[in-house]
């Protein structure tokens, strides 16, 4: 199929999606903050993943295991040669998290639908409530790209390093310690504030009003003016790791920074650690 992609082969346009909805080697996957959105209408042929029950472990505080994620791909009819195009609501918030998981578990043929559900609906493009069924594959995850994930010690051990860049992608109110978390969420920490030395660059600054990503030049300016430059080892964090996965996508995939990690433990871990340093 023709490769009509944008931004270094990591994004597909809505027109590209419309042309390839029925391709056997392309699978569209919707992941929404509102887990009911998929049932109200989705792209024809798209399957839905629930971030609460399918993309994270149901017992431990961690991402879906290699085995569980492998099974998820198998049941979606995805094999090693399938191009997986993820999209969702809220400017591809959780879609970016699913993309990060795909890359973490070694699936290179992953893309994000630029503009996501918001732009698709705004342009009154075709939606369906029909849930497709695909033949189960024997997908095997052969390797884990551990360089894409940070843990608390990766952050703690580098706080004083000049070669380290820490991006807090939460709202200014969360960063400043005015609130612990956005209203209505369940995952909380005991303390408010931010990790010392972090730059506050909210994840949403990377997107336009229509949900598409800003240009490479605009993105470069946004991050570099806050000291987040490609010569540093960069770690992004938020509250539970989903908003920071969006920023990881921007830095690692769109701007092609050489060393970017997503700290999915994020503030719900750091804000609960005994004696961890905090700034407000």
Give 230-264 pLDDT, tens digit per residue. Answer: 999 999 999 999 999 999 999 999 999 999 999 99
What is the structure's pLDDT at 28? 98
pLDDT of residue 199: 98
CB-based contact 200:194 (threshold 8 Å): yes
**Cα 32 to Cα 15, 36, 165, distances in angstroms:** 21, 8, 29
Split at pLDDT 50, 70, 90, the class of 187 is confident
Pairing of strands 5-6, 11-12: antiparallel
Other beta carbons within 10 angstroms of residue 277's beta carbon come to 12
User: What is residue 194's DSSP assignment?
Assistant: B
Which position has the token pair 């092609």? 256
Above 70 in pLDDT, residue 48?
yes
Q: Please give the pLDDT value at position 107.
A: 97
Decide if pLDDT at 192 tops 60.
yes
pLDDT of residue 9: 80
Q: CA nearest 67: which of 148, 149, 145, 139?
A: 139
Nearest to 277 by CA among 166, 149, 147: 166
Residue positions annotated with a catalytic role: 238
Measured between alpha carbons, how far is 150 from 166 in angstroms, rounded to an integer? Answer: 11
User: What domains lie within the chain, and their CATH numbers?
Assistant: 11-144 (3.40.250.10), 147-271 (3.40.250.10)
Amino acid 3: pLDDT: 38
pTM: 0.95
- Residues 106-155 have pLDDT tens digits of 999 999 999 999 999 999 999 999 999 999 999 999 999 999 999 999 99
Q: What pLDDT is attached to residue 184? A: 85
Contact between residue 95 and residue 245 where contact means Cβ atoms under 8 Å apart: no
The mean pLDDT value for 88-95 works out to: 95
Across the range 91-97, mean pLDDT stands at 96
Average pLDDT over every residue of 164-175? 98
pLDDT at 5 over 60: no
Q: What is the pLDDT of residues 200-225, one digit of tens each?
A: 999 999 999 999 999 999 999 999 99
The confidence band for 72, taking pLDDT boundaries of 50, 70 and 90, is very high
Tell me: pLDDT of 180 over 80.
Answer: yes
The pLDDT of residue 18 is: 97
Quote the CA–CA distance of 34 and 41 in Å, as a whole number: 13
């Amino acid at each position: 199929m023709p490769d009509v992609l944008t931004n270094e082969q990591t994004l597909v346009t809505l027109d590209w999606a419309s042309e390839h909805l029925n391709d056997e080697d392309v699978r569209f996957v919707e992941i929404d903050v509102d887990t009911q959105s998929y049932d109200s209408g989705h792209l024809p042929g798209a399957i839905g993943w629930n971030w609460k029950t399918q993309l994270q472990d149901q017992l431990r505080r961690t991402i879906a295991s290699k085995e569980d994620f492998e099974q998820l791909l198998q049941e979606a009819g995805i094999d090693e040669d399938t191009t997986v195009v993820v999209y969702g609501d809220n400017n591809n918030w959780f879609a970016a998290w699913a993309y990060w998981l795909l890359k973490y578990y070694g699936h290179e043929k992953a893309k994000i639908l630029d503009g996501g559900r918001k732009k698709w609906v705004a342009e009154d493009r075709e939606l369906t409530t029909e849930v497709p069924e695909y033949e189960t594959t024997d997908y095997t995850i052969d390797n884990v790209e551990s360089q894409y994930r940070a843990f608390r010690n990766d952050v703690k051990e580098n706080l004083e390093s000049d070669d380290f860049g820490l991006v807090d992608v939460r709202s200014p109110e969360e960063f400043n310690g005015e609130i612990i978390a956005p209203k209505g969420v369940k995952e909380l920490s005991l303390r408010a504030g931010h990790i010392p030395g972090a730059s506050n660059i909210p994840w949403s600054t990377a997107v336009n009003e229509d949900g598409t990503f800003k240009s490479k030049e605009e993105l470069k300016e946004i991050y570099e003016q806050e000291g987040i430059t490609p010569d540093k080892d960069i770690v992004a964090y938020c509250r539970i790791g989903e908003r920071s996965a969006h920023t990881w996508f921007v830095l690692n995939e769109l701007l092609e920074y050489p060393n970017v990690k997503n700290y999915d433990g994020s503030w719900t871990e750091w804000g609960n650690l005994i004696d961890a340093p905090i700034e407000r």
